[in-house]
Amino acid sequence: MHCDSDFEALLDSFDISPFEEHHNTVYGIRSDMQLAYYNPAWIRFAQDNGASPALWSDDYLGTSVVSVIGDALSPFYLDLFRSCLDARDAGLRPPQHEYECSSADVFRQFLMTLYPLAGRRGLLVVNSLIAEMQHDPVLRPRHASDSATYVGAGGWTHQCAHCRRVENTQIDGQWDWVPEWVDHPLPKTSHGLCGPCRSHYYPQ
């Protein structure tokens, strides 16, 4: 099991075997937001997405979770994680958050459930796939990877960190589905949030 020994002691109230067998990523973080546990699905996900082998080395334990989430979404998730630390002591139900993690061809929606550990000492984060289907060509029409339309000042493209649409530099406020750049983003790609994702998923 990929887990720091001190964090493993915090999981005594859980039967950890279902998390080890879970099809989607499960990870644990301490109250200081350092990664302390991840399940085998974490490794599969990293490998399937071409991540560096360092991401599934035990040496990665102790790394700030911010380095996993990325700059665009880390403020939201750090606030979420910290606010959830009190849920157990307050007798609240485990908080949840829905998010998208799609490929170029397949729409995927996940549910994140956060289990606070005793004494506000950490969280167990369980991600479950709740929807998987081919992209709807009406709701998400495909657009060609046209640099004139999507590459802006300084040669940068801007991609939504949630839905992965790309900002259209010719039409203010429009973000389009460019599948070629979902699986293979341009080198100079920055991440933010499109208007609909910001207002619906990340209103804070």
Are 17 and 38 in the same domain? Answer: yes
What is the number of structural domains in the chain? 2
Q: What is the pTM for the complete model shown?
A: 0.87
Taking residues 71-76, report their average pLDDT.
Answer: 88
The string of pLDDT tens digits covering residues 74-102 is 889 988 998 888 776 666 678 899 999 99
The verdict on residue 179 lying in a domain is yes
Given this model, what pLDDT does residue 118 score?
Answer: 80
Q: Are residues 129 and 76 in the same domain?
A: yes
Percent of the chain with pLDDT over 70: 97
| pLDDT (0 to 100) of residue 88 | 66
Q: Give yes or no: residues 130 and 153 share one domain.
A: no
Q: Is 204 part of any domain?
A: no
CA-based R_g, the chain, Å: 18
The residue segments making up the domain with residue 120 are: 2-134
200, part of any domain: no
Q: What is the pLDDT of residues 154-203, one digit of tens each?
A: 999 999 999 999 999 999 999 999 999 998 899 999 999 999 999 988 88
Residues 99 and 152 in one domain: no
DSSP 135: P
Structure token pair of residue 38:
């991840």
Write down the pLDDT at residue 193: 94
In a domain, 142, yes or no: no
Q: What is the pLDDT of residue 59?
A: 83
Among residues 134, 165, 183, the one where a domain terminates is: 134
Could you read off the pLDDT of 30-41 as tens digits, one per residue?
Answer: 999 999 999 999
Q: Which residues pair with 55 in a beta bridge?
A: none
The distance from CA 82 to its chain's CA centroid, rounded to whole angstroms, is 16
Helices (H), the chain: 5-10, 17-21, 40-48, 66-69, 74-84, 147-150, 180-183, 195-201
Tell me, yes or no, whether 45 and 89 share the same domain: yes
In this structure, are 86 and 185 located in the same domain?
no
Report strand pairing: 189-192 vs 157-160. Answer: parallel
**pLDDT higher than threshold 90 for residue 107:** yes
The enclosing domain of 111 has a CATH number of 3.30.450.20
Q: pLDDT: is 67 or 18 the higher one?
A: 18
pLDDT at 56 over 80: no
Phi and psi angles of residue 91, each rounded to the nearest 5 degrees, phi first: 75, 20
Look at residue 159 and tell me if it is in a domain: yes
Q: Give the pLDDT of residue 68.
A: 78
Q: Quick one: what percent of the chain has pLDDT higher than 90?
A: 59
Indicate whether 170 and 79 sit together in one domain.
no
Whether residue 13 is predicted with pLDDT greater than 90 in this model: the reply is: no
157 lies in the same domain as 62: no
